[in-house]
Each structure stands twice: as C-alpha cells, then as structure tokens.
Structure 1
C-alpha cells in the first residue's frame, strides 16, 4: 500500500506514521505538511507545502495513493466559529476534495473527536463544526470514509504532543493513565491503538463509518493480530 498522512508532526499523526513505517504491507508513506519532520526512513517521502488550502501546484505528487490518514487538527480554545471553521472544515475539505478527484479508489480516515455533533445543530461550537466536516467528507466520492472519534489518548513510544499544555498534562497524568488504560482499554486508547486502527482500515473494511473509542480499539486488536503487521 501507499499511504498519505496529513498532520504527522502531531501526537496522533506521529502514532499513525510510526505504525505505517513498521507495517510490512506499506511500501511508501507520503507526509504532507508545512514543516519538515526531521526524520528519515526508506519508506518515507515528504511534501513540504506552505498553503494547505490550495494544492494546484503539487497535484502531480498527490496521486497514486491507496489511503489518506488525516490527523490535522487544532484546539477550538479562544477561537471564533468562523476561525475554527476555516482551520477545521475549510482546510480539511480543501485537501479531501483534491484527493477524491485524484485518487477515486482512496480510503480516507479522518480523526474527529468524541462528542462530535452530526446534526450540526448543537450548542457546542467545535462539535457542530466537526459534525459538518464529517458530513461533507461522507459525500465525497472516495472508496470509503472512516470517521474516528477517540476520547482520551495516551502517547506511547516517545511520542509527544506539540501543545505545551497537553505535554504537561500527559506527563502529570502518566502514573494514573497507564493503569487506567489497562483497566479500560476500550475507553482510553493509545497512539499505537489509533495508528494500528487507521492502517487496518486502509487495507480492509468495516460496515460502520463513525468509529468511537471502543470500535477503534477493536479494529486495532484485529490489526495487531493480522499477518500484515510487521
């Protein structure tokens, strides 16, 4: 498989990249972002692109891929709905619309969040915007679209969040989060769980498009036990 990842410098994206590079059936990983990753691997390709709202100049480099793992995301804290819509809905659809045209057989996996509002009518701003984004993605002509709605995620394998406050939070809660994740693995995921599940849906199907934490965990377990895992 040839996999594309957006947001590979973020916490979830780092997990997806790690598992993609380790998977025996992944031959190439293209990471698209504004800044270089600062790592090398025989499978890894990078497309450093400043304008993530316009891909006309780089379309030739975006075709021929089997799946896109879209891990870009921002916190809504302190933002107006218009600002958050631009960075969540507009940015995501700019990439997804281009990819659907260039790769009609592509599977698109989008990291949303627990509590997303599919009705687009709720009182919580970020949940409405995420719901609108999910609904728009499902209307695009991909082979399949999967919408991940994880809740708590623990970073593993040296992965860290780009957000200083989150880094401190994960460090402070690690002594508690680790045993809790073992007790409640379907409610508290790891970056490895999410990465494995994203890869599994790049190679196989599931009847449910919207995937909550328990669904993501189950798919990750299926992937970890499969022969394609390297």
Structure 2
C-alpha cells in the first residue's frame, strides 16, 4: 500500500504505548484516519480521530459495522503478568487479542496488523517465562490469519514528552536511556521511533515478521531518510 493513505485502528490508547502511537499517527501526513477503541475516553480530540467506547473486547459484534475499511491496526493493548493468574493472563493476552485479530482479518483481509509483544517473547512457545510463551503463541497465531501480521518487540521505550499516560517510574529511569542506547541499542527505542516504524511497515511491508528493537530503529531511520 505504498501509494495508499493509512487508515489505522489503534487499541490501548489510554495506556502509555497506545497514547504515544496515537499522538504520532495524528501528526503524520501518511495517516489519513485513526480509529481508537477504548473502554474509557482517551481524552484526545483531532479532525482525523474517531473514538468508539466499547467495554467488552471479547465481543466486538455490536461495533463490527464500524471496523471495516481500515488498512492498518496498531495493537497496543496489554497487561503485565505480575500479580495475576496464568489463566487470567492467557485470557487477556491471547484470547482477547485473537478475537480482535480474527474480527479485523475477516472485515479487512488486506490489513497490516502490528502486535506489540515485547523483547524476550518466545516464538517456540516452550520453556522460559509464561508471559513470553503466551506472547509467542499470540504472535504465531496472528500470523496464521488472513491479513499481514507482525510481532513488534520493543524493550525499554522512552515516552513522548508531555504524555498523559506515561508510567510514573519512567521519570526516574529516563536517565538510563542514552547509556542503554549506546551500549545496547537493540533494547532501547523511543515511542516516536516505535510508531514511525509501524507506519513504515504498514506502507512498505518488511522482510521479517518479527520486528526487534534494532529493526524498529532502522525502520524509523529509513522513514526519516525517505521523508
């Protein structure tokens, strides 16, 4: 869709990653329309933006007629595995995501779907942490759906200045970013780079279905160079 404007659906825009991706998408000329689906208002107003308030992400039937006609989805909805059971984590991370993916792939089979999983995700679905296996299974099964799906695996993400939904602890550890970027660039990207990278993938595709931290940086640089 190199010559086609992006019409994107974004989930999780009331969280740090989704809010940052939304803000970047709204300022990019390549992005023509943005639809956010939230359980509560995101608090952003813009001519490009439409918002659907919908409580039950396990049942999208009531809003299906509003989800067709989009060619990209940036899936930023997610929870931490800390403090919840394996069953609840699987339901929220895998079952919910797959329901959204299956619905959107049926309505928009030519869509590019970028799923934010995270550094350390386990594609083999064996061994390691439970969260990494569940995220790996989610990536794998999304890639079996009719649309074009990518697993995006950022590590430390530096928020955009002025975000409403940034995690409070980031202000105490942002000083680490320049050092981390210098010595371990694969694990450190900015939220702006993450958003730009997904926009770039939507327009041009990518040679790999798993997009690691260094891929995110490279894609963002490619976009800047071509723009």
TM-score bin (small chain): over 0.9
CA contact (8 A) 2:117 2:151 kept: yes
Q: Work out the CA distance in 1 between the residues paired with 2:36 and 2:190.
A: 21
Q: Work out the CA distance in 2 between the residues paired with 1:204 and 1:89.
A: 27
Offset, 1:182: 5.8
The partner residue of 1:150 within 144, 147, 154 is 154
CA contact (8 A) 1:110 1:146 kept: yes
| 1:108 counterpart residue number | 113
Offset, 1:160: 5.2
CA contact (8 A) 1:71 1:111 kept: yes
| 2:198 counterpart residue number | 198
Offset, 1:52: 0.6
Q: Work out the CA distance in 1 between the residues paired with 2:179 and 2:172.
A: 14
Q: Deviations over 1:34-58 (max 9, x none)?
A: 1111121010100111101111111
Give the 3-state SS of the residue equivalent to 1:84 in structure 2. Answer: helix
| 1:126 counterpart residue number | 131
Query: Unmatched 5+ residue regions in structure 2?
Result: 1-5
| 1:167 counterpart residue number | 168
| 2:21 counterpart residue number | 16
| 2:58 counterpart residue number | 53
Q: Deviations over 1:90-109 (max 9, x none)?
A: 11011010000000110000
| 2:208 counterpart residue number | 208
Q: Compared with structure 1, are the counterparts of its residues 146 and 30 closer, same or farther at alpha carbon in structure 2 (3 Å cutoff)?
A: same
Q: Compared with structure 1, are the counterparts of its residues 172 and 133 closer, same or farther at alpha carbon in structure 2 (3 Å cutoff)?
A: same
CA contact (8 A) 2:152 2:212 kept: yes
Q: Deviations over 1:93-138 (max 9, x none)?
A: 1101000000011000000011111111113110111111111101
How many residue pairs end up in the alignment? 222
Give the 3-state SS of the residue equivalent to 1:225 in structure 2. Answer: helix
| 2:3 counterpart residue number | none
Q: Deviations over 1:186-210 (max 9, x none)?
A: 4310111101111111111111000
TM-score (norm 1): 0.91
Q: Say what the alpha-carbon RMSD is for the aligned residues.
A: 1.5
Q: Work out the CA distance in 2 between the residues paired with 1:204 and 1:81.
A: 37
Offset, 1:176: 3.0
Offset, 1:177: 2.3
Offset, 1:185: 4.3
Q: Work out the CA distance in 1 between the residues paired with 2:123 and 2:183.
A: 30
Q: Compared with structure 1, are the counterparts of its residues 116 and 179 closer, same or farther at alpha carbon in structure 2 (3 Å cutoff)?
A: closer
Q: Work out the CA distance in 1 between the residues paired with 2:133 and 2:186.
A: 25
